[in-house]
Structure 1
Amino acid sequence: MSQGRSIRLFLVDGAPTGLLTAEIVNWTGHVLTGPRSKLSQLVQRPECGRTGIYFLVGPDPDHSFLPRVYIGETDDVSQRLKKHNRPEEQGGKDFWERVCLVTSKDQNLTKAHVKYLESLLIRNAGEVGRCTLVNGTAHDYTNLPESDKADMSYFRDQIRTVLPVLGFDFLRPTARTAAPVEQSQTDQSPIFVLSIPKHAIKAKAREINGEFVVLEGSVARNEWVGPTGGYQALFHQLCNDGVLATGDNGLRVFTSDQEFSSPSAAAAIISGRSANGRIAWSVESTGQTYSAWQDQQVSAAQTAVDTSGYVEPEAGQ
C-alpha cells in the first residue's frame, strides 16, 4: 500500500476559480496557479520574483482530449509571463488559459537547478503523452553535481504529485509509463474481458489506480457504427493517434495500454457504439460482470469494517 500525503491548499481570493497556492508537508516547494484572467494579480505575488518553473496550459484545437502545454524556467517568472501574455505576432503565446508556477520557499533553487528540472519535466511530459507539448525536444543539462541532480529528481516527483490535485494531469504517470516500483505499489484489479464473438472482438483490461486500462493487443471494431456523438470523437482520435491501428480481419488493435475514465468509455471504443461497461466487462477468471465484482468488493470492505469493531465517533468527538 502506498503512503498517504498531506497537501495544503489555499484560495488566495476565496474563490475556487481564482488564485490558489499548494504545498506538500515537509517539501520546500511552493505552487501558485490561476487563470490568465487573473494574471495582473498573479504577477504581483512575491513568488513571481523568484527563480522557478512554470507551466502554461490551454486547449489544443487539434486534439480535443488533450491540453496544450508549455514548460519553462526563469529567474523572474513575472517578467517571463508578461512576455508570454503578448500576442503571437509579438512573440507571445495565445493558446494558454491557466498558468502554474513552482518555486522554493527557502529560495534555494538556482538557474542551474531549474534548467535541469525543466529538462526532466519536458521529458516526462513527452513520455506520459497526456498533453501536446509546445516545447519540442528537451535539452540535456548535465552541468550539475550528482547530489543536486538527486535533489531535483525528488523535487520533480513532488511536482508530479501535487499538480494532478490542481487539475493538471499532464505529468501523471500512466499504466504504460509507470516505473516498475510504481507499478508494484499500484492498486490493481483482476483482468476483465469483453467479447463480441459475432465480430471476432475480444479485449482485456484492468483497473489501475482508479483508471480503467485496456491492455495492449486488445481488439476493437474497425469503425464507429453508433449514433453521432458520445465517444465517437474519442474513437477517431485514438485511430488518428495510432493507439487503434488497423489489424487483421478488418478490425483494430490497441498498440499500447490505454487509460479510460470508465468501463463504459472503454466498452464504447471497443464496440464502436455506446455500451454499458458495467455489464459488458466480466472478470476473466470467474465470469462475474464488472458490476457484480465491484459490489462484492464494497460488501467485503463493509464486512471488514463491521468485524473490526470500528465505531464512528459521534458529532463533536
Structure 2
Amino acid sequence: MNQGRSIRLFLVDGTPHGLLTAEIMNWTGHVLTGPRSKLAELIQRPECGRTGVYFLVGPDPDNSLRSLVYIGESDDVARRLKEHNRPEEQGGKDFWEKACLVTSKDQNLTKSHVKHLESRLIGITKQLGYCKVINGTGHDYGGLPESDLADMAFFLEQIRTVLPVVGFDFLREQNKPSSSATTVSKQPVNLSPRFVTQVPKHNEQAIAQEVDGVFFVLKGSKARDAWKGLEEGGYRPLFNQLLADAVLQPDGNGLMVFTDDQAFSSPSAAAAVISGRSANGRKVWIVENTAQSYAEWQNQQLSQLGDEQPVNNTNAIVTNLEVTDD
C-alpha cells in the first residue's frame, strides 16, 4: 500500500476561491496559489519575496480540454508576477488565470536549486502531456552537488504530490496499464480486470482497464472513423481532440486505432469515443471472457464487502486535509 500523507490547507481569506496555502508534514516546501484577480494580495505575501518556482495556468483557446502552463523561477517571484501581469505588447502574458508558487519555509532554496527544479518541471510536464507548456526549450541545470541533487529529487516528489490536491493536475503521475504491467511505476498500482466492447457495425474490439481508479483504453484498440452522433456537444469535442492529437489514427481498414493507452474520465466517455456517439459505458463494457458488464462487476466488488467491519490498517492511504480559519 502507498504510504499516507498529511496535507495542511489554509484558506487565507476564508473563501474557497481566494488565496490558498498548502504544506506537507515534514517537508520544508510551502505552496501558495491564487486567482489572477487576487494578484495584488498574493504578491504582498512574504512567500513572494523568496526564491522559488512558479506556475501560471490558463485555458488553451485552441483546445478546450487542456490548459496552457508557463513554468518559471525567480529569487523575487513578486517582481516576476508583476512583469507577467503586463499586457503582451509590454512583455506580459495574457493567457493565465491562476498562479501557483512553491518556496521553502526555511528559505534554503538557492538560485541554482530553483533553476534545476524549473528545468525538471518543464521536462516532466511536457512528457506527461496533460497541458501545453508555453516555455521555450528548458535548460539543463544538472550541475548541482550530489547531495543537492538528492534533496531536489525529494523536493520535486513533494511538489508532484501536493499540486494535484490544490487543483493543478498537470504533474500527476499516470500509471498506464502497459507501464503497470512492467512495474515501471515506483508505486504499487491497483489493476482491474480487462474490459472489452464491440465497435458498432464492425467485428473489431476495444480493450480497457482501470489503473488506480482511472479508466484507460489500451493501445491498439479500435474505434469508429468519425463521430456518428447527431448531437454537437457531449463527447464529440473529445473525439475530435483525440484525432487532432494523433491518439486516434486510421488503421487502413476503415477504422481508427489507439496509438497509446488513453485515460478517460469515465467508462461512458471511452465508450462514446469508440462508438462515435453517446453510449452508456457501464453497460457496454464487458469483463473479458465473461458476460458481466462493468456495472455488474462494480456491484460485485461492493457486495463482496458484506457487513464486515472496517479494518484498522496502519498502511491505509489517508490524506488529512486540515483547513484552518485563523
TM bracket (short chain): over 0.9
1:188 aligns with 2:191: yes
Mean CA deviation greater in 188-197 or 265-274? 188-197
Question: 1:219 maps to what in 2?
Answer: 222
Whole-angstrom distance in 1 between the partners of 2:187 and 2:251: 31
Q: How far off its partner does 1:181 sit? A: 5.0
**In the superposition, relative to structure 1, how do residues 303 and 216 fare at CA in structure 2: closer, same or farther (>3 Å)?**
farther
Q: Secondary structure at the match of 1:192?
A: strand
Q: Which residue of the partner structure matches residue 206 of structure 1?
A: 209
Give the CA deviation at 1:78: 0.2
- State the shift of 1:301 in Å: 2.6
**Runs of at least 4 residues of structure 1 off by over 6 A?**
none
What letter is aligned with 2:211?
I
Matched AA of 2:229: G
Q: Quick one: structure 1 residues 183 and 202, their matched pair in 2 at CA, closer, same or farther if it must change by over 3 Å?
A: farther
Matched-pair contact (CA < 8 Å) for 1:29–1:105: yes
**Structure with larger RCO (C-alpha < 8 A, sep 6+):** 2
1:233 corresponding residue in structure 2? 237
Kindly tell me: are residues 297 and 9 of structure 1, through their superposed partners in 2, closer, same or farther at Cα, counting changes over 3 Å? same
> Aligned with 1:198: secondary structure?
coil
**What is the CA distance between 1:27 and its match in structure 2?**
0.7
Q: Is the alpha carbon distance of 1:288 and 1:183 closer, same or farther for their aligned partners in structure 2, counting shifts above 3 Å?
A: farther
CA shift for structure 1 position 298? 1.2
Q: Is the 8 A contact 2:175 2:189 kept in 1?
A: no
Do the aligned partners of 2:199 and 2:223 also contact (CA within 8 Å) in 1? no
SS at structure 2 position matched to 1:185: coil
1:164-220 CA distance string (max 9 Å, x none): 111111111223497835366112111111113632331111111221111100000
* RMSD, aligned CA: 1.8
Distance in 1, matches of 2:15 and 2:306, equals: 37
Q: Secondary structure at the match of 2:67?
A: strand
Residue of structure 1 in register with 2:67 after alignment: 67
Whichever residue aligns with residue 192 of structure 1, its letter is: F
Contact map agreement 2:2 2:187 (CA 8 A) in 1:
no
Give the Cα separation in 2 of the matches to 1:276 and 1:126. 33
Call closer, same or farther: CA 1:63–1:25 in 2, change over 3 Å: same
Give the aligned partner of residue 260 of structure 2: 256
The answer on whether the counterparts of 2:175 and 2:185 sit within 8 Å (CA) in structure 1 is: no
Residue in 1 that maps onto 2:304: 300
Cα contact 2:200–2:275 (8 A) shared by 1: no
Q: Distance in 2 between matches of 1:255 and 1:47?
A: 43
**In structure 1, how many angstroms separate the alpha carbons of the residues matched to 2:187 and 2:30?**
29
Structure 1-normalised TM-score? 0.93
Q: Distance in 2 between matches of 1:55 and 1:168?
A: 9
Deviation at 1:288, TM superposition (A): 1.0
Q: CA offset at residue 304 of structure 1?
A: 3.8
Per the alignment, residue 38 of structure 1 pairs with 38
Residue 98 of structure 1 corresponds to: 98
**1:123-138 equivalence runs, <5 A:** 123-138=123-138
Q: Percent identity?
A: 65
Partner of 2:320: none
More helix by share: 1
Distance 1:197 1:32, change over 3 A: closer
**2:207 is aligned with 1:174:** no
Q: 1:183 to 1:114 in 2, by over 3 A?
A: closer
- State the partner residue of 1:58: 58
Number of residue pairs the alignment of both structures matches: 309
Letter in 1 for 2:189: T
Query: Are 1:279 and 2:257 counterparts?
Result: no
- Per-residue CA deviations over 1:149-173 (Å, capped at 9, x if unaligned) read 1111111111111111111111112
Residue of structure 1 aligned with 2:271, choices 267, 271, 290? 267
